[in-house]
Amino acid sequence: MSKDRPSPDPRPPEPRPEGYDPGVFAPFAVTVDVVLLTVVERQLKVLLIQRGHPPYAGAWALPGGFVQPDEDLADAAARELLEETGIGQDRSRLLQLGAYGQPDRDPRMRVVTVAYGAVVARLSEVPRGGSDAAHAELVPVADVQSDRLPLAFDHRRIVGDAVARLRAELDTSDVAVGFCPPEFTIRELREVYEAILQTELDSGNFQRKVTQRKGYLTPTERRVTPGERGGRPATLWRAGDAGD
């Protein structure tokens, strides 16, 4: 990658693996953070943990932590999510959002974090299998974006970027079905869209748009029994072939 160049590094050179020039390689910490989103009662929520130690002790933050020396980034994200919240997520379902590396983003040392996005079906409560996360909770994304609920580090920005990315990919990818349980009604899927886009969608047009999209949904034989106030029973659908 890089070759000999003047050594502008004010720090004493670290002992280093052979082959790299001293004075050029400064050690960084690399972490991963996970933006886990879910829709509960028509509201988009993000999973946060309450920090137990400084800096930002007591503040809310994204689950995440250090990448281990021989660990892939996505694996680290999955592991941290499991350790801190008890939620197991396949690494293939984690979408990389980007790297955040402003020099002062951590007050103590240079940390570059790689953010990952994850999506789960309506999760009402956090499993609490986490090793030692002080506290994990689902909070409305709106509270984060309005800054009514301040986050540690640059995590508010990361959440904002994640939501923007989610909105952009709603129509072109299969993310939305990730917010639904294995079998779901079109209404349920529509409410996911509405929570994310913050708009109302025409139910009839949505129905067509989503059922006609190839490989997106597959119908089951089962129907749902209507609520107390009646109504035609809705078909249950599964994620389509393309989403597997």
Partner DNA sequence: CCAAAAGTGTTCGCAATACACCCATGT
Partner DNA sequence: ACATGGGTGTATTGCGAACACTTTTGG
Q: Can you give the binding site for its own copies, defined by CB under 8 A?
A: 1-12, 14-20, 22, 24-31, 33, 49, 51-55, 61, 63-73, 80, 83-84, 96, 98-99, 101-103, 106-114, 131-134, 153
CB 244 → DNA: shortest distance, Å?
22
Report d(CA 226, CA 205) in Å as an integer.
21
Q: Is 119 exposed, middle or buried (0-12, 13-18, 19+ CB in 10 A)?
A: buried
* Number of C-beta neighbours around residue 232 at 10 A: 7
Residue 145, contacted partner among its own copies, DNA, none, CB below 5-8 A by kind: none
Amino acid making up residue 134: A
Question: Can residue 238 be called a binding residue for DNA (CB under 7 A)?
Answer: no
Please enumerate in sequence order all residues whose Cβ is within 8 A of that of 23, keeping only pairs 6 or more positions apart, or say none: 7, 9, 13
Residue 226, contacted partner among DNA, its own copies, none, CB below 5-8 A by kind: DNA
How big is the chain, counted in residues? Answer: 244
CB 91 → its own copies: shortest distance, Å?
12
CB 177 → DNA: shortest distance, Å?
15
Binding positions for DNA, 197-216, rule CB under 7 A? 202-205, 207-209, 211
